[in-house]
Every structure is written in structure tokens, then in C-alpha cells.
Chain A
Amino acid sequence: MSGLGAGAVIVFVEHATGEPAPASLAALAVARGLADALGAPLEAVALGEGAVAAASALGAHGLGVVHVAHDDKGDAGRPFDTPALPGRLLAHLLVTNAPRALIAAATARGTETLAYAAALTNLPLAAACTQVSAADGEDPARALSVTRLRWGGSVLEEARLDGATVLLTVADGAGADGAVPAPPAGAPRIITLADEGGQPDTRVRLVERVASAAGGVSLAEARVVVGGGRGVGGPDAFGLLEELAALLGGTVGVSRVVTGAGWRPHSEQVGQTGTRISPDLYIACGISGAIQHIVGCRGARAILAINTDRDAPIMARATYAVVGDLHAVVPAIIAELRRRGATPGA
């Protein structure tokens, strides 16, 4: 046990060579709320090249203790080139320190790392939590209450997480209710995490990185997305949506009906099993607004729906709407933009 009293709440902090990731800092805020409620110490763990720098940076976030491993560049077992290694290191930390909770951001990496640590230690893991607190009327050393996302966030689940040590990942955008940032603790104590010994598991190895093709606006980061669904009617009419997107300096996104029919590639799909977008404006053309599509575009500042059906579910989610056939409306918008000589905004 780390000290006497309650086991610590430990946060797995991802970092880009020494710079803590924003998602991890958000998870840290939620973890701090839990630690405060339980009267438990808050600690962090950082792995890989730059871990020590990340640990030092965490001092400014009120961390007094940070566990690190594999800080060395070019280390034979570079943690993230073998996906099993980070989870093994965290499993070892779980066994040796018996923390109250191990928390990470619900990123792809945070999730798989905690899932493997949980699997190796046979401990429960609640994924994509938005809230965590002591369970009402239960021993806080044995049970926590969590709220977590189901259906990509269309449905919330309230659940109980039993056990003296539990794992959880924190969903993107989770609020840290009432968590007051602690004063900077100065330089944190850095503890080097021992490997569990034995041969590292390097069966799965990263053998190549393929940089994403440069140029074009990325769907996840586009300021304007022009979306097309079944109402577009076939692959050819997407030329219209591309033209509108180009005039607005944006890009095209589509529904699953469109990718399933092979009209457009899956890389353009918006939704639960596609890409999450957060543009200033999402122009949804011929898209009904199924919940699995909506979870992908909830981050949009505004939605303009163009749909023949005034009662389509998308109308209840949209900020603006044009009721009509997209094959008439979109060309008219393009013509009007050209008539006014409009150029994409800065």
C-alpha cells in the first residue's frame, strides 16, 4: 500500500514526449474529484520517452508523486511499439501499490492499456465514464458509483463498480463536478516503476508507420462539413456536395447508408462507428439523424439540415433547416455563393 489509509487514486497520463495530453489532464480533473471525495492521495503514472519530463510538468497540476518507466530514448522495449508493455507495467503497479483506482482518458491508447492491465489482474474496468463518486450508502473503500456512455453517448448508464481496486476510463468532455485544482505542489517525487521481471512480451510489434496523406481538410478537424445521406441517391450527386464543401473551405462527410452502399469510402463516415466531427457548421443533406449518426456530429456548433421531411429526427437536433429536395437546394446555394463572389471565411 502507498502509505496508510486509503489507497491512492492513480492517473495514467499520456504525453507527447513530455507534454501531458489534454485528454489526460481532463481525466486528471475527474480523478482529483474522486480522490478528494475519498480522502485519498492523487498520484500519476507516465510511460515512455519523455516520461520524466511529463512527470515534472505534472507538478504544476498539483501532483506530488508520479511513477515513471521507460523514459530512455531507443530503449529496447519502447512501450508503445509493443502494445502489451504499457498494460503490463500498469498491472505491476496495480499489484505492488494496490491503489483505490487507476484512471485514464478514454482514448484508444488509454483504453487498451487499462483494459490489458485489468485483464492481467482480473480487476473490473468501467469504460467511458462521465462521472465517478463514492456509492450512496456503501463503503467507499468497496464500491463506487459511475455514470458511463453507452451507444457512443446516446444512452447513459449508471453503474456500481465493486472492488477495493478498480479501473476506469474517462470519456471525452466529462465534467469534473466540484473539483478544485490543487495548488502547484512544486517538483513531484518521481518513482521509477520496476518492470515485473522476466521476458518482456514483444510478440506484437510496430513494424511501420504510414504518415497520413498530406493535403485536404481532415474530417475530424474541418470547420465546415457538408454531409450526405441516403437522400443523395447515388454516388454521382456527391459532386454537388463536394462543390459546396470546396466553396466553404470544408469537406464531405457521409452516413453509414452511403458507405454501406459503396457510394463513398468509410473514411468519410460520421458517427458511432465512423469519425466524430466538431465543425462550426454541419450541413446535413438527406440524412435522417439516427442516434448513431448524431453521436458523431454532436460536437458541431450548429447543424443546418436539408431534408424533404419536416419531421425527420434530424430536425429536432438541427439549429437551422431548409425543407426541400437537396438536389434543388444545394445547387441553388452554390449558385447564390457564386453570384455573391463569396470566398471561405478566415
Chain B
Amino acid sequence: MNILVCVKRVPATGGRVTLTGDGLAIDARFLSFTISPHEECAVEEAVRLVEASGGGTTTVLTLGAEAAADQLRDALAVGMTRAIHLVTDGEDWDPMATAAAIVGVVRADAAEGFDHDLVLFGNEAADSGDYQVPIRVAAALDRPWLTGVKGLDVEGTSVRARRDGTRGQEVYHVPLPAVLAVREGLNRPRYPSIPGRLRAKKVAIMATRPERQVGGPTMIRLRVPDEEDAQVHVLGTGAEAAPAVVDLLESLGLVNP
């Protein structure tokens, strides 16, 4: 079985977000980088499925700046076998342009004998939250798709995929080849091992610079929402604060005295 997983490099912001002076990006000078937890689960699932199927390839793909090669190495370190880098100048691509570039890779891979039975995405990118690249890729390839996937079992030439519905869980039959957008909770991703890191260093990343299609929407600027400055009311320090806490619970009507 061959699986392609698409990931996106994003800054690992902590408690506060600071924007760059031009308001076009998060100021990431002092931040590390990561991928979405949804995508970590997609990577983990691909590694497990190909291991269980007894052979095949796991390819990780990213579209992003030169530095996004780090995120490809991270995926290789936990067991992915091939890596493809669609190198950009670092500008954020809109979802239509991103999907078109990924479709190009799936077609080119197929021409070289890497027919991907599954193309996995995170349900939405951590930063842009566009919720549409997987479906655009599926539509362009005319492949069946499902979003919000939190469990999947391969059964011959199809998968049984579970997701949360409005009234409990829904189970779907999805024939292969297919495109799935998965959510965190699908599995618990492993951490890379030292031998995994060493192996990842040796894999040659296939890098190309794709043509950028015109799409939309076009970002004009970012803004951090103005939050009312919450004046925190410190009830006390340590265990001695307990009576004040219970007074508060009573006054909020959460417990009956």
C-alpha cells in the first residue's frame, strides 16, 4: 500500500501571538516550528498502515519555504520513507493554489509507479484553517473523500472510516484510492527515536518549485483580536485560599451551601 501525507510547517506559538510589523505573519523569530496535531496523527497512521499491510511506501509532502524541510525530516524520523518538498519563497499560498500543486505531485508520482492508495491530510491547517485543500485535491483527482476522520481500518480495497457526527459516531465505507482528512485523536503519535533521526538525515528529499496558480482568498493583513483586559482577581495563595474558592462557587450558584 502507498500512502501520501501532506503537512504544513507552522510556528509553535505559546501564550501570546505577536505579529510582524507589516501584519502579514506571526513574528516567529523566537519560536520553534511544528505541524498540526491532526497532521501528526496522519503521519502516524500512514506509518502504522503501511507496516501492517506488509509493504509499500509512505511519502510525506510539504509546500513551504526551504526551512519546511525540517518538518519533512521529523516525519521521516518517525518512519515515513519518502519526502517531497514543494519549495516556495515562504509566502502563504491560498488553498486553491496549494491543492493544485499537490494534485500535480499525486499525478507525477503515479506516473513513476507510486500510485497512492490513500492521500491523508490534517482536517484543517493549524494556521490558515481553510478546511478545503483535501476536498479540492479529491475533486480534481475524482477520488472519494471523507473529512473529520477519527478512526480507520483498511479492509481490502476499501476503508471503514469513523467520524463524530451530530448524533454519535458515523461509520463510512470509503473505496480506495481515497482522500481522507483526519483529526487528532485518531491515534497517539510516537516520538522520533535517535536511530530514526539518523535515518531521516540520510533520505534524499525530492525538491521542486511548483508554478503558483491564481486562486483565492487573498490575505490582506492579520490582526490579533482585541480581548478585554481581564483583571484577574487573586483569591489567595496555596491551600489557605480554599474557603474563598468555595465562597466563590456558592456565589456563582455552582454549589448549594
Contacts and interface: CB of A to CB of B under 8 A. Distances in A.
A329 interface: yes
A313 B14 contact: yes
A96 interface: no
Contacts, number: 291
B234 interface: yes
B173 A204 contact: yes
A342 interface: yes
A150 B125 CA distance: 9
Contact of B220 (A87, A159, A304): A159
A224 B254 contact: yes
Interface string B238-256: 1111110110111011111
Contacts of B184: 266, 269, 273-274
Nearest to B10: A151
Interface string A141-169: 00001101111111111111111001001
Interface string A115-153: 110111010111110000000000000000110111111
Contacts of A266: 184-185, 188
Contacts of B99: 119
B196 interface: no
B129 A151 contact: yes
A304 B245 contact: yes
Chain A binding surface, main DSSP class: mixed
A318 interface: yes
Contacts of A204: 144-146, 172-175, 178
Contacts of B135: 87, 112, 115-116, 119
B218 A162 contact: yes
Contacts of A329: 238-239, 241-242, 245
Chain B binding surface, main DSSP class: mixed
Interface in B177-206: 178, 183-185, 188
A262 B246 CA distance: 31
A1 interface: no
A151 B237 contact: no
A118 B217 CA distance: 12
Contacts of B245: 304, 320, 322, 329, 333, 336
Contacts of B26: 155
Contacts of A207: 160, 171-173
A318 B229 CA distance: 10
B173 to A, nearest CB: 5
Contact of B222 (A157, A249, A328): A157
A305 B229 CA distance: 16
Interface stretch (A27-35, A70-78, A287-295): A287-295
A313 B241 contact: no
Given A159-B217, A291-B13, A322-B235, A342 B255 contact: yes
Nearest to A334: B242
B175 to A, nearest CB: 5
B102 to A, nearest CB: 13
A155 B23 CA distance: 11
Contacts of B170: 206, 208-210
Contacts of B173: 204-205, 207
B111 interface: no
Contact of A115 (B19, B131, B174): B131
Interface in B1-29: 13-17, 19, 26
B129 A127 contact: yes
Contacts of B15: 288-291, 312-314, 316
B230 A333 contact: no
A187 B130 CA distance: 36
B144 A342 contact: no
B57 interface: no
A2 interface: no
B163 to A, nearest CB: 8
A27 B104 CA distance: 35
A155 B17 CA distance: 8
A324 interface: yes
Contacts of A217: none
Nearest to B246: A336
12 contacts: A155-B17, A204-B173, A207-B172, A210-B169, A249-B254, A280-B253, A291-B13, A304-B248, A313-B16, A316-B229, A322-B236, A342-B250
| 4 closest Cβ pairs, A-B complex | A313-B15, A124-B216, A119-B139, A266-B185
Given A160-B220, A267-B185, A323-B237, 8 more contacts: A108-B148, A148-B129, A155-B224, A163-B216, A266-B185, A313-B15, A319-B232, A320-B235
Interface of B: 13-17, 19, 26, 36-38, 94-96, 99, 124, 126-132, 135-136, 138-140, 144-148, 160, 162, 164-175, 178, 183-185, 188, 215-225, 227, 229-230, 232-243, 245-246, 248-250, 252-257
